[in-house]
């Protein structure tokens, strides 16, 4: 499993003839006919297979949007579930084309791993979950507590930093898979379960008795989550970035999957450019001119994706918060499509 992936990257690094890895990912993807998408091993709302084995989630929608932009068919995606530990290796070795896997953008990851972050599809922060019965009101009361955490995450380091900064102690219990972390916390091995707050909300739905648990008010870190690509293929990075911007721009312009056909006749030049009625935006990306139309038609705009996967009407029930558009007071700010 993980061993195999690490051996794969070793083998690729050892034997790949120079120049092969920098070949245009877009050409490879067009040749094989689908986008190979690296996702989590099951995080409800972000990337999680349903009963029929269809992947769904806000991260999955990035890949579906890309497939719609490239092929005009959002179904042309294949998914590779990856643990936190395996994810970068899989991307480096070319096993996946893009990695939208609730991955935090940090300096080291952006520079030392041979990878590039494109943009952010979810602003998150790390939080703590405890049992209500413990009677804890704030994270600073957790001196001496056992904390369940997943390996290979920014979470693991933030946790140490937080306790160190507050001069209190804790006992880490570090697991390789997210499911094992939740199982151990649920089994009473730890007092505290920590991960991104969206993750806490999502994993709570998997617990034996979700109502017994409480998410503490503190947000101890910034966790900007976004899709990652290999360093050096700028055109491919552009496609990922502008797929997301197109979804956000569509929301900003009031274009959604239901009205998109009608919007083609709109007089608004911004909408006409986005939907490919005017200009040659798609051509600049190396894509068909109706790229954004297909994204919105088949996947929806960002707001629709959010409401469908993690919004208040889903079991995860996350308020939009900082993930609102900039004009509604949030941080989501798409660059102009022109």
Partner 1 sequence: MAAEADIGQAPGKPPIWNDPRYRALFFQVVVLGGIIFFFVYITNNTLANLERQGIASGFGFLSRTAGFDISMHLIDWDEEMTYGRAFTVSVINTLLVSFLGIVFATLLGFVMGVARLSRNWLIAKLSAVYIETFRNIPLLLQIFFWYFGVLRNLPESVRESVNVFDLAFLNRRGLFVPSPQAEPAFWVVIVLFFGGIVASIFLARWAKQRQEATGQYFPVLSTSAGLILGVPILAFIVLGFPINWDVPELGRFNFSGGAELIPEFVALLLALSVYTASFIAEIVRAGILSVSHGQTEAAFALGLRPNWTLRLIIIPQALRVIIPPLTSQYLNLTKNSSLAAAIAYPDLILVFAGTVLMQTGQAVEVIAMAMAVYLTISLLISALMNWYNKKIALVER
Rounded to an integer, what distance in angstroms lies between the CA atom of residue 228 and that of residue 245?
A: 15
Q: Which residues are within 8 A (CB) of 91 and not within 5 positions of it... i.e. 6 or more apart?
A: 38, 98, 99, 115, 228, 229, 230
| Stretch touching partner 1 by CB under 8 A, among 33-41, 139-147, 220-228, 275-283 | 139-147
153 lies in the binding site for partner 1 (CB under 8 A): yes
CB of 94 to partner 1, least distance (A): 10
- Residue 12's closest CA among 24, 2, 20, 3? 20
Q: What are phi and psi of 38, to 5 degrees?
A: -85, 120
21 lies in the binding site for partner 1 (CB under 8 A): yes
CB of 176 to partner 1, least distance (A): 5
Nearer CB in complex with partner 1: 70/149 = 149
CB of 164 to partner 1, least distance (A): 6
Among 191, 196, 238, 251, binds partner 1 (CB under 8 A): 191
212 lies in the binding site for partner 1 (CB under 8 A): no
Rounded to an integer, what distance in angstroms lies between the CA atom of residue 152 and that of residue 15?
A: 27
Nearer CB in complex with partner 1: 94/334 = 94
**Contacts to partner 1 from residues 57-86, by CB under 8 A:** 84-85
Rounded to an integer, what distance in angstroms lies between the CA atom of residue 78 and that of residue 64?
A: 10
Nearer CB in complex with partner 1: 51/112 = 112
Strands 48-49 and 35-39: unpaired
CB of 237 to partner 1, least distance (A): 14
What CA–CA distances, in Å, run from 6 to 26, 41, 114, 230? 25, 18, 15, 17
Do residues 104 and 283 lie in contact, with contact meaning Cβ atoms separated by under 8 Å?
A: no
249 lies in the binding site for partner 1 (CB under 8 A): no
Q: Kindly state the tokens that stand for 258.
A: 């239901």
22 lies in the binding site for partner 1 (CB under 8 A): yes
165 lies in the binding site for partner 1 (CB under 8 A): no
What CA–CA distances, in Å, run from 336 to 264, 289, 303? 18, 16, 18
Among 16, 23, 322, 331, binds partner 1 (CB under 8 A): 16
Among 60, 142, 248, 263, binds partner 1 (CB under 8 A): 142
Nearer CB in complex with partner 1: 96/316 = 96
Q: Kindly state the tokens that stand for 304.
A: 């629709």
Q: Count Cα neighbours of 139 within 13 Å in the Cβ-side half-sphere.
A: 24
Q: Judged by CB under 8 A, how many residues of this single chain contact partner 1?
A: 56
322 lies in the binding site for partner 1 (CB under 8 A): no
Among 23, 138, 187, 322, binds partner 1 (CB under 8 A): 187
CB of 83 to partner 1, least distance (A): 10
3 state DSSP class of 150: strand
CA 29 from centroid of its chain's CA atoms: 20
Interaction site with partner 1 (CB under 8 A): 6, 9-10, 12-16, 18, 21-22, 84-85, 88-89, 92, 108-109, 111-114, 134, 141-146, 151-153, 156-157, 159-161, 163-164, 170-176, 180, 183-184, 187-189, 191, 230-232
């Amino acid at each position: 499993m993980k061993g195999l992936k690490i051996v794969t990257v070793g083998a690729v690094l050892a034997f790949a003839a120079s120049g092969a890895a920098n070949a245009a990912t877009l050409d490879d993807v067009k040749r094989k006919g689908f986008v190979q998408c690296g996702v989590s091993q099951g995080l409800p709302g972000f990337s999680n297979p349903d009963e029929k084995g269809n992947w769904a989630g806000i991260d999955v929608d990035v890949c579906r949007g890309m497939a719609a932009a490239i092929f005009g068919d959002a179904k042309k995606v294949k998914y590779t579930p990856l643990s936190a530990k395996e994810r970068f290796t899989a991307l480096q070795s070319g096993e996946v084309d893009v990695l939208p896997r609730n991955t935090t953008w940090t300096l080291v990851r952006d520079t030392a791993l041979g990878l590039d972050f494109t943009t952010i599809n979810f602003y998150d922060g790390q939080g703590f979950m405890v049992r209500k019965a413990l009677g804890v009101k704030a994270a600073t009361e957790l001196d001496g507590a056992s904390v369940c955490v997943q390996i290979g995450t920014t979470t693991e380091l933030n946790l140490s930093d937080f306790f160190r900064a507050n001069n209190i102690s804790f006992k880490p219990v570090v697991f390789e898979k997210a499911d094992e972390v939740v199982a151990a916390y649920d089994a009473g091995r730890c007092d505290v379960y920590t991960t991104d707050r969206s993750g806490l909300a999502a994993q709570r739905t998997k617990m034996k008795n979700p109502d017994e648990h409480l998410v503490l008010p503190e947000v101890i870190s910034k966790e900007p989550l976004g899709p990652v690509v290999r360093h050096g293929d700028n055109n491919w990075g552009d496609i990922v970035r502008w797929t997301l911007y197109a979804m956000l721009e569509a929301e900003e312009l009031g274009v959604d999957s239901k009205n998109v056909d009608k919007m083609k006749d709109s007089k608004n030049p911004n909408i006409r450019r986005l939907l490919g009625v005017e200009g040659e935006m798609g051509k600049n990306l190396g894509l068909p001119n109706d790229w954004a139309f297909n994204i919105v038609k088949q996947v929806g705009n960002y707001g629709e994706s959010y409401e469908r996967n993690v919004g208040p009407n889903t079991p995860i029930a996350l308020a939009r918060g900082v993930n609102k558009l900039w004009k509604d007071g949030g941080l989501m700010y798409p660059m102009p499509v022109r």
